[in-house]
Amino acid sequence: MSVSKPPPPHSHFQPPNPSSHLSLPTGGAPLAPASPSPSPVKISMQEHFAINVCPGPIMPIPQISDFFPRFHDFPCPPPAPQRERQVVREAGPAEGEKGDVKEAEEPMYSDDDEDTYLGTLEFSLLFDQEHNCLHCTVHKGKGLKAMDSNGLADPYVKLHLLPGASKANKLRTKTLKNTLNPVWNETLIYHGITAADMTTKTLRLCVCDMDRLGRNEFIGEVRVVLKKLREGETKRYNMGLERQMQHKEGSSLAVEQGAPVAEEERGRILVSLCYSQEKSSLCVGIIRCAHLAAMDSNGYSDPFVKIVLQPEAGKKSKYKTSVKKKTLNPEFNEEFFYEVPHDQLAKKTLEISVWDYDLGMSNDFIGGVELGINAKGERLRHWFECLKYMGKKVEYWHTLTQQGQPSSD
């Protein structure tokens, strides 16, 4: 019995054979050719740390190297162009025909300051021609832009009449803390507003954020042309705030008005006259001033009023009101009496002048007005009504001018 010799064990290591490049097995079943080893996958260091560890073959996350442009071995691709506004064409017209094209609506809130939603302001206006007053009631704001680091704001509203001096006709509401939906319900009143002013003035309402540690920040503004407002009618507005506008309109109005604007900047005064026949005396009431010119470096004045009945009749012909500190819209409500017969009053002239008080220095003249037989317009009418309607108090607003300046302080 013969026993066959088992074939030698297969080994990947073959001794070198000088006669041939291929080594064949000496016996037994033929061996399958060895498969070539796969080439290693080249991945960058960044991809190596961000491989996908889900079950299955280990594969790197594609295009992970785009997040590390400085390690690229190849030039970086150019940045993608900014997405253009989508244009939506309404279905209907065929190709080649002109159809309605409209831009897709953009979100109300955007990172761009030009498109940022600033909020709305609700207010109402009333013009009282009988008392020459403009009432502005600021009701509330809604959805104001956040200005503080806590995502809120400390809003208040400033009012200006354009054209005109800034501080002389500035009114302001109270400040409400930490809110984007403030409710003021506050009424601010402009005194000395005539029907002629309503045809040329524009009311500007600015919403600002109060900042105690720095400068107050502007949020937005609205403007209302007052000539559209009817006398005695309360009109309610709900307007969206806008960015600060260029004051081209205001400057053009100032140029058109010319000399009257320069005269207006000195301010106005409300005077009452009443002649008492029983006491044979003239009662002169200095009620208030409005929109006075600023004479001090702080942008305000310390006004007081002098009144003189000419020709003079001793010390009793000169009077002076109290001084109101740091204001351009002082309220005096003071009365002065002159004992003069009615038949001589027609020959008299009442000189009224407004001054700015300066401690230790000569006082600055702001403006003046003269009432008498030689006056013109409203001034002459005021004087005649006082003489005609004895016992009746007659009130008039008068514009302060340079002509009323006396020769000496």
223/229 Cα distance (integer angstroms): 13
Quick one: pLDDT at residue 354? 95
Residue 317: the pLDDT is 83
Q: Cβ atoms within 10 A of the Cβ of 291, count? A: 24
pLDDT, residue 346, reads 86
Same topology for domains 113-258 and 268-404, yes or no? Answer: yes
Which one-letter DSSP state was computed for residue 179?
-
Tokens of 253: 């109005």
Among 3.10.180.10, 2.60.40.150, 3.40.50.1380, 2.60.120.460, name the CATH number for the domain at 268-404. Answer: 2.60.40.150
Query: Cα(125)–Cα(97) distance, rounded to whole angstroms?
Result: 50
Q: Span 113-258: which CATH code?
A: 2.60.40.150
Determine the Cα angle at 130 with ends 250 and 373, to 5°.
90
pTM confidence score: 0.58
Residue closest to 400 by CA, chosen among 308, 258, 287, 290: 290
Per-residue pLDDT of the chain (409 residues; tens, 9 = 90+): 445 555 555 544 455 554 444 455 555 555 555 556 666 666 666 665 555 555 555 555 555 555 555 544 444 444 444 444 443 344 444 444 444 433 334 333 334 444 578 999 999 999 999 888 999 999 999 999 999 889 999 999 999 988 875 677 889 999 999 999 999 999 999 998 988 889 999 999 999 999 888 788 999 999 999 998 988 889 999 999 998 654 444 333 333 333 343 445 689 999 999 999 888 999 999 999 998 988 888 888 999 999 999 887 666 789 999 999 999 999 999 999 999 999 888 889 999 999 999 988 889 999 999 999 889 999 999 999 999 999 999 999 999 988 666 654 4
pLDDT at residue number 360: 80
Which runs of E-coded beta strand occur in 230-344?
Answer: 235-240, 268-276, 281-290, 303-310, 318-320, 331-339
Work out the end-to-end distance of the chain between its first and last CA atoms, rounded to an integer number of angstroms.
Answer: 155
Q: In what order do the strands lie in the sheet with 183-191?
A: 183-191, 133-142, 120-128, 235-240
> Max Cα separation, the chain?
173
Residue 156's beta-bridge partner residues? 208
Q: Give the count of beta carbons closer than 10 Å to the beta carbon of residue 310.
A: 14
Alpha-carbon gap, residue 290 to 354, rounded angstroms = 11
Distance, CA of 324 to CA of 322 (rounded, Å): 7
Domain assignments of the chain as residue spans, ordered by start: 113-258, 268-404
